[in-house]
Amino acid sequence: SAVISQKPSRDICQRGTSLTIQCQVDSQVTMMFWYRQQPGQSLTLIATANQGSEATYESGFVIDKFPISRPNLTFSTLTVSNMSPEDSSIYLCSVSGTGNEQFFGPGTRLTVL
Amino acid sequence: KQEVTQIPAALSVPEGENLVLNCSFTDSAIYNLQWFRQDPGKGLTSLLLIQSSQREQTSGRLNASLDKSSGRSTLYIAASQPGDSATYLCAVMDSSYKLIFGSGTRLLVRP
């Protein structure tokens, strides 16, 4: 199984600002995924990040709002831009392991005031 | 469009009971199905992974079954303990390797 860390673990931000979330994996992986979990809801996929190419965004999510970087096979960042209170969520990154088993990071709890 | 449903939404049982959580999905063309546990405010812990060609997987007190043709999976927890209290999420992986999650079952095991 992969060990995944995320920074920060939580943050409280002001409306209109941006926050960059980091995701670090202890092994090289091809695909990394970013999810959002709004309060009381299940997880929704934001985008898939492949090293060396542009991230692929799901319906309802756009690059200007959620820019993603994937500089190497063990690291990715997700930026939440021009935040509003509706962006308050837990943001999680995940990777695929053997048999496409998914492993998740501990999440970043974001509160926007 | 794949939709995943979990029943019940919440469950409260006394310690020691055996229990079953249900998951259903609308499109049987799945790559695999995975059960996760999520503690409040935390990330997800993978419990069991069932490939589309498999019928069940077991880990300790947990057993998960998959009936792909009927679009159903169950998670069986034997001899429940207070430490099992958490939200249990079912997710299917579609043919494009994307996970689609159910809304979860919140489990409370009372001492």
Question: How close is the nearest chain B Cα to the Cα of A103, in Å?
Answer: 7
Is any Cβ of chain B less than 8 angstroms from the Cβ of A73? no
Confidence (pLDDT) at B41 = 81
Confidence (pLDDT) at B18 = 97
pLDDT band at residue A72 using 50, 70 and 90 as cut-offs: very high
SS3 annotation, chain B: CCCEEEECCEEEEECCCCEEEEEEECCCCCCEEEEEEECCCCCEEEEEEEECCCCEEEECCEEEEEECCCCEEEEEECCCCHHHCEEEEEEEECCCCCEEECCCEEEEEEC
Which pLDDT tens digit goes with each residue over B31-48? 999 999 999 888 899 999
Confidence (pLDDT) at A51 = 83
Question: How close is the nearest chain B Cα to the Cα of A22, in Å?
Answer: 15
Which pLDDT tens digit goes with each residue over A104-113? 999 999 999 9
Confidence (pLDDT) at A97 = 83
What single letter denotes the amino acid at residue A96? S
pLDDT surpasses 80 at A60: yes
* Averaged pLDDT for residues A61-68: 96
Report the candidate in A71, A109, A102 with the shortest Cα–Cα distance to residue A87: A109
The CA distance from A77 to A93, in Å, is 9
Which pLDDT tens digit goes with each residue over A32-49? 999 999 988 889 999 999
Instruction: Choose the closest CB to B43 out of A45, A92, A99.
Output: A92
Is any Cβ of chain B less than 8 angstroms from the Cβ of A109? yes
The CA distance from B57 to B64, in Å, is 5
CB contact under 8 A, A92 and B44: yes
pLDDT averages per 10-residue partition of chain B, 111 residues: 94 96 96 95 92 95 96 97 97 90 96 95
pLDDT band at residue A67 using 50, 70 and 90 as cut-offs: very high
pLDDT surpasses 80 at A1: no
Residues in chain B with CB shorter than 8 Å from the CB of A90 are 41
pLDDT surpasses 90 at A98: no
pLDDT surpasses 90 at A76: yes
Residues in chain A with CB shorter than 8 Å from the CB of B5 are none
Cα B54 to chain centroid distance, Å, stands at 15
Confidence (pLDDT) at A57 = 96
Kindly report whether the peptide bond that precedes residue A8 is cis, defined as omega within 30 degrees of 0: yes
Parallel, antiparallel or unpaired: strands A68-72 and A75-80: antiparallel
CB contact under 8 A, B97 and A1: no
Instruction: Choose the closest CB to B101 out of A31, A42, A106.
Output: A42
What single letter denotes the amino acid at residue A110? L
Confidence (pLDDT) at B20 = 96
Confidence (pLDDT) at A107 = 95
What is the percent of chain A with per-residue pLDDT over 70, rounded to a whole number? 100
Return the structure tokens found at B52. Answer: 């589309």
Average model confidence (pLDDT) across chain A = 94
Bridge partner list, A95: A32, A103
